[in-house]
Amino acid sequence: MKRPILYLIALLLGAGLAFGREPKEDDSNVIYDESKVPQYDLPPLLVSAEGQRVTTAEAWRSVRRPQILSLFSNLIYGAVPDPESPVKVEFEVRKTDPQFMEGKATRKDVQIRFSNSKGKAEMLVLVFVPNRGTKPVPAFMMHSFNDTHSPDFEAHPQRPGRLRCGWPLGEFFDRGYAFVAVYQQDLVGHNEVEFLKGIHPLFYRKGQSFPKASEWGVLSAIAWGAMRAMDYLETDSDVDHTRVAIMGHSKMGKAALWTAAQDERFALAISAQSGCAGAALWRRRSGETLEKMVTRFPYWLCRNAWKFVNQEDDLPVDQHMLLACIAPRPVYVHSGLQDTWADGRGEYLSAYHASEVYRLLGKKGLTSESSPPVGEAIIESDVGYHIRQGGHSLQMYDWERFLDFADYHLKN
Ligand code: GCU
């Protein structure tokens, strides 16, 4: 399909689809009923591409995990190509406000600049460090829908009131965490289809003006940005860069899992209602499917992913394998009972099946194939989970469980 046509389709289908809003149109063929979920066989986690059984932590690490990551890179999210001209990266703390939230925290506005002979791009990372307590502190990094350049992150007397796209910053500070926000659209557009601006042009080879079928789409670019923010954190003595959790809700939950799977510097990952292309299993085709996703958001994934539309059973991976690539680092998955578009059951099953690798690595995973009761969080496990009443949003209950999970794993 030609790009202008795709662009038009994306505009028409994406128009009016606010972030996180469940689609109203063309829902007739969506599976919401468990009895309609097709039979499927998941690709084995612990058998290598050469057909060898993987029975040791060493074989997982040196053989199977790299194979799986490479499949996700080339077929699902898109690999970041080697740039022809080296990319120079600069960090600058542009502003420091030690009086943030009446002196509870220090806010740093950190600009990260990228440049090479092909162009320039930049991102703005906000780092909030609690003033109380001994430094360095552990941190949560959030892939943010909200713009770090806008007033969205200014201290507000009513926080933590705004929760859908908000964040209970005070809670993080009280529990001794720094909070780091990375904006999803600094390097790539929300539903980018042209890739002529932002970070991609810096990586094009001579004559190239669009990512190849196996090269990075939107989610890969967002994940790459978080890794650069982690590069900065490694230079910031206020934050313990060995104890950074990466998190995100919905599209940002998909990005958080992909970030953590690739970059082992992230100590823990939290997927909040990440659904399709996040924690949910492709093969269940329940709620949002690959077809629905690439029709509305053609390049959140890479172009190769289109080849598996309605052919999910041919995929050599499923999303439990993405979660497994995070092992042995703790991963937490959160679903909403009424968030059927994100397939809460499929999110749980992914976490459950990934647990096989956690156990191989001597960690604790989920032991029951049945989802836990609504409102009961599994915290004391390296694979954590909760499902609560309600739809597609982040509620105070969710934030508290994420913090409990981080307390349990990052503070012990
Ligand atoms: C749409 C999309 C989802 C995504 C969600 C969001 O609903 O279909 O895949 O998770 O937007 O990012 O809020």
Tell me what the pLDDT averaged over the chain comes to: 92
Mean pLDDT of 66-90: 98
Cβ contact 280:286 at 8 Å: yes
Radius of gyration of the chain (CA): 20
pLDDT band (50, 70, 90) for residue 90 = very high
Say whether 133 sits in a helix, a strand or coil: coil
Pocket of ligand 1 (CB under 6 A): 19-20, 22, 250-251, 275-276, 288, 293, 341
Quote the pLDDT of residue 155. Answer: 75
Quote the pLDDT of residue 26. Answer: 61
pTM: 0.94
Quote the pLDDT of residue 167. Answer: 82
DSSP letter assigned to residue 337: T
**What pLDDT, in 10s, does the model give residues 183-242?**
999 999 999 999 999 999 999 999 999 999 999 999 999 999 999 999 999 999 999 999
Q: How far, CA to CA in Å, does 286 sit from each of 2, 282, 307?
A: 29, 8, 19
Return the ligand 1 atom nearest residue 145 CA.
12
Ligand 1 centroid, distance to 305 Cα (angstroms): 17
Q: Which CATH class is domain 43-410?
A: alpha beta
Strand partners, 89: 114
Cβ contact 309:294 at 8 Å: yes
pLDDT band (50, 70, 90) for residue 166 = low
Tokens of 196: 């002529």
Return the ligand 1 atom nearest residue 292 CA.
8
The residues that are catalytic are 250, 392
Q: Residue with structure tokens 């954190």?
A: 233
- CA atoms of 346 and 220, how far apart (whole Å): 22
Domain range summary for the chain, segments of one domain joined by +:
43-410
Name the residue of 144, 250, 393 to mutate for ligand 1: max ligand atoms within 8 A of Cβ. Answer: 250
Cβ contact 228:47 at 8 Å: no
Say whether 73 sits in a helix, a strand or coil: helix
Taking CA atoms only, the protein residue closest to ligand 1 atom 13 is 20
Tokens of 125: 């990372």
